């Protein structure tokens, strides 16, 4: 069974640009969540989607947005990039939302903003 | 505001000893708590889940305790090996999952 797949793995963007990251969950998983990981802040929750609906949102500005498609694949978008957005962006999937289901992480997308 | 604190940023121990990692939280009542392992450049990998009505869980050389009165979880790795060297993250869950900053464990041969 294939794991969580994130693309691209590495990317470099310029301040002010926007970026879209993609996540394909494990087959059969309907919940997808996104996290930002930086050395200073650790793993910060961005948002969670379940059955194409945003279920929860972390404390991030509106420049960070996401969506989920009918096949459970998800994308997140960051507009007007800032230097501080440089981070590892991790996607995780689980069978259902909440309830202590095990979440499975992808390898992440490394974003560098210059 | 909610806070999740893991005892120390780094922990060094000798091979064969028991590693004990701590996760404390405030202003939060999680329904469950999970521990993850993360290797450099990789995504976290699930290790153990313990629910609020459980005191202790074991899996092979791993043991986790959950004290909702103290608002603390302890994670133990017995008979530690150099291969156990990694960063360990605790995560608290209700409607979503919130992670601690992690403890980097180094097991020296």
Which residue bears the tokens 């900053």?
A: B101
Contact B93 A104 (CB under 8 A): no
pLDDT bin (cut points 50, 70, 90) of residue A1 is low
State how beta strands A19-24 and B10-14 pair: unpaired
Q: Is B44 on the interface with A (CB under 8 A)?
A: yes
In this prediction, residues B85-95 reach a mean pLDDT of 91
Q: What angle do CA A82, A45, B69 make, to 5 degrees?
A: 140
Q: How far apart are CA A58 and CA A56, in angstroms?
A: 7
Residue of chain A with shortest Cα separation from B87: A42
- Residue B49 distance to chain A (closest CA, Å): 7
Contact B51 A100 (CB under 8 A): yes
Is pLDDT above 90 for B43? yes
In this prediction, residues B77-98 reach a mean pLDDT of 92
Is pLDDT above 80 for A98? no
| Residue % of chain A over a pLDDT of 90 | 83
Is pLDDT above 70 for B88? yes
With residues binned 3-state (H G I as helix, E B as strand, rest as coil), the percentages for chain A, rounded to 5, are 5, 55, 45
Number of A:B CB contacts under 8 A?
56
Count of all residues that appear for chain B in the document? 109
Closest by alpha carbon to B86, among B29, B31, B47?
B47
């Amino acid at each position: 069974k294939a794991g969580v797949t994130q693309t691209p793995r590495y990317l470099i963007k310029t301040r002010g640009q926007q970026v879209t990251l993609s996540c394909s969950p494990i087959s059969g998983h309907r919940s997808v969540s996104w996290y930002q990981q930086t050395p200073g802040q650790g793993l910060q929750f961005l948002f969670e989607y379940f059955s194409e609906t945003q279920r929860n949102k972390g404390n991030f500005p509106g420049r960070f947005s996401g969506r989920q498609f009918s096949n459970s694949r998800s994308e997140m978008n960051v507009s007007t990039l800032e230097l501080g957005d440089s981070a590892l962006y991790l996607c995780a999937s689980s069978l259902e939302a909440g309830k202590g289901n095990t979440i499975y992480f992808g390898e992440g997308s490394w974003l560098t903003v210059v | 505001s909610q806070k999740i604190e893991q005892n120390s940023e780094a922990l060094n121990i000798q091979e064969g000893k028991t590693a004990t990692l701590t996760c404390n939280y405030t202003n939060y009542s999680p329904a469950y708590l999970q521990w993850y392992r993360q290797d450099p450049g990789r995504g976290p990998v699930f290790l153990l889940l313990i629910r609020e009505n459980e005191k202790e869980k074991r899996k092979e050389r791993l043991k986790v305790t959950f004290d909702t009165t103290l608002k603390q979880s302890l994670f133990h790795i017995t008979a530690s090996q150099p291969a156990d060297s990694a960063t360990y993250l605790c995560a608290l869950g209700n409607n979503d999952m919130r992670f601690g900053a992690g403890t980097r464990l180094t097991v020296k041969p």
